[in-house]
Structure 1
Amino acid sequence: MTPPDLPTLLSTRLRLRAVTEDDTAFVQDLYARPEVTEFIGTTDWVETTREQSLARIHRYRAAAGRAAGIWLVETVEGRRALGVALLKPIPRSVRLADSRAQAGLAQDTEIGWHLHPDAWGHGYAIEAARALLAHARRRGLTEVVAVTHPRNVASQRVAERIGMTHQGTTDRYYDTTCALFTLTL
C-alpha cells in the first residue's frame, strides 16, 4: 500500500516510488554494503538481516508527509532498483534541537540519496535529486539542505551538480560534523 502523500515521481530514466515490503531483498543488499554505509551516520554499520531491512522500510514509510518521503529509485525501463532518495525533515544535533524549537524555527528539509554501487557513475543520483527538487517546489518548500560526510566527495559533487551551494562544515545536524549544502527553491 502506498502512503497517500507519497506520489510516484518520474524523470526521463527513473521512477521514484514508495518503498514496500516487496523491496526488502534490495534494501537488505543495499545497506549490507560497507561502501554504501561508509558515509552514512557517525559509526561503522551495515544491516544484514531481513528484520533490519523490514524495520528500515517501515521507518521510511513513516517519513511520508506533505512534501517529505523516502522513495525507492528504479529504472523506468525494466524497473531495476537502484537505491533510495530522500526528502525529509533533518534531525538537528541534540544540543541545538531544543533551542531552535523554543525559538519557533521551522525544521530544515534534507535532500539525499543512497545508491547501490552498481548504479554509481551513471548520473542517477543527479536525476533522482532533480525529480525530488521539482516535487519540493510543487509542494511549496522554499529551501533544502544536503549534508555529507566531509570525505564523501561523490555526494558533494551531486549536490553541486543540482545547484546547491557549499556552505562549509557544520555540526548543526546528526550530532556530527558534516559538509553543508543549501539550495533556495
Structure 2
Amino acid sequence: MSERLRLRLPTEHDAEFVQDMYSRVEVTQFIGAHDWVETTAEEALNRIQRYRERLGRGTGVWLIETVDTASPVGFILMKPIPFSAHVKGQPEEDIEIGWHLHPEAWGSGYAAEAAELLVAHARRAGHPRLVAVTNSENIASQKVATRLGMSHQGLSERYYGTTCELFILDLRS
C-alpha cells in the first residue's frame, strides 16, 4: 500500500469496472498483438478468474484502487512472460511487470506508483530482474518504465512472438 493506492486481488464485485475498462479500445489497443475489446459481463468475470489464477510465488495480477475512496483505477501485473518460439535454452523464466489503467486514471501517476509497490514486492520475492514490453507507439507506458528506472533495450522479438520495446530492471543491485 502507498499513501494513495492499495493493491488487492480482483473479485466478481469488480466485474462492472473490468467490463467498462476492457471494452475501451484506447485501453486494449496496446495489449496483445491483435485488436480486441471485451464488452460482456461474462468476459469480465472470465478475465477476473484468469487474473486470480495468476497468483503465485511473488507473482500475480492485482486490482489498483485508491485508498481514500476504494475506487478501482486499473490493474498491475507481475507474471512469467512467454518467450517467443525462436528463443531457446533459457535457464530461467523472465518476470514481466505491466499495468493497465482506466482512461479516467491516466496522467495521475498511478501506474508508476503501483509499479513501485510491485518492484519492492519483486525484490522481497527474490526475483533477479523484471522486464516490461510495450508497443512502440505506447509512449505513456514507456515513460512509466523509464520512471521506474528500467533500462530501455530497444526493439526486441524475445517475447510474445512479436516485436516490442524492451525495458529491463536489474533487482540484484
Please give the alpha-carbon distance, in whole angstroms, between the structure 2 residues aligned to 1:183 and 1:170.
15
Please give the alpha-carbon distance, in whole angstroms, between the structure 2 residues aligned to 1:67 and 1:94.
25
1:122 aligns with 2:108: yes
Which of 147, 153, 158 is the matching residue for 1:167? 153
Secondary structure of the residue that 1:94 maps to in structure 2? Answer: coil
Give TM-score, length-normalised by structure 1: 0.90
Please give the alpha-carbon distance, in whole angstroms, between the structure 2 residues aligned to 1:38 and 1:59.
20
**TM alignment of 1:101-116, pairs within 5 A:** 105-116=91-102
List runs of 5+ in structure 1 lacking aligned partners: 1-9
Which of 140, 151, 155 is the matching residue for 1:154? 140
Please give the alpha-carbon distance, in whole angstroms, between the structure 2 residues aligned to 1:51 and 1:176.
29
- Any idea what the Cα deviations from partners look like across 1:131-183, whole Å, max 9, x if unmatched? 00011111111100000001100000000001000001111111110000000
Counterpart for residue 45 of structure 2: 54
Kindly provide the amino acid, as one letter, of the partner of residue 154 in structure 1.
A
Counterpart for residue 25 of structure 1: 16
Secondary structure of the residue that 1:25 maps to in structure 2? Answer: helix
Secondary structure of the residue that 1:131 maps to in structure 2? Answer: helix
CA shift at 1:94, angstroms? 2.5
Please give the alpha-carbon distance, in whole angstroms, between the structure 1 residues aligned to 2:128 and 2:157.
22
Which of 58, 69, 73 is the matching residue for 1:67? 58
Secondary structure of the residue that 1:45 maps to in structure 2? Answer: coil
Counterpart for residue 43 of structure 1: 34
Secondary structure of the residue that 2:86 maps to in structure 1? Answer: helix
Kindly provide the amino acid, as one letter, of the partner of residue 51 in structure 2.
Y
List runs of 5+ in structure 2 lacking aligned partners: none
- Any idea what the Cα deviations from partners look like across 1:34-77, whole Å, max 9, x if unmatched? 00001011111000011111111111111100100000000001
Counterpart for residue 85 of structure 2: 94
Task: Count residues with an aligned counterpart.
Answer: 171
1:85 aligns with 2:71: no
Please give the alpha-carbon distance, in whole angstroms, between the structure 1 residues aligned to 2:52 and 2:86.
27
Please give the alpha-carbon distance, in whole angstroms, between the structure 2 residues aligned to 1:94 and 1:18.
31
Regions of 4+ moved over 4 Å: none
CA shift at 1:95, angstroms? 3.0
Please give the alpha-carbon distance, in whole angstroms, between the structure 2 residues aligned to 1:92 and 1:143.
15
Counterpart for residue 145 of structure 1: 131
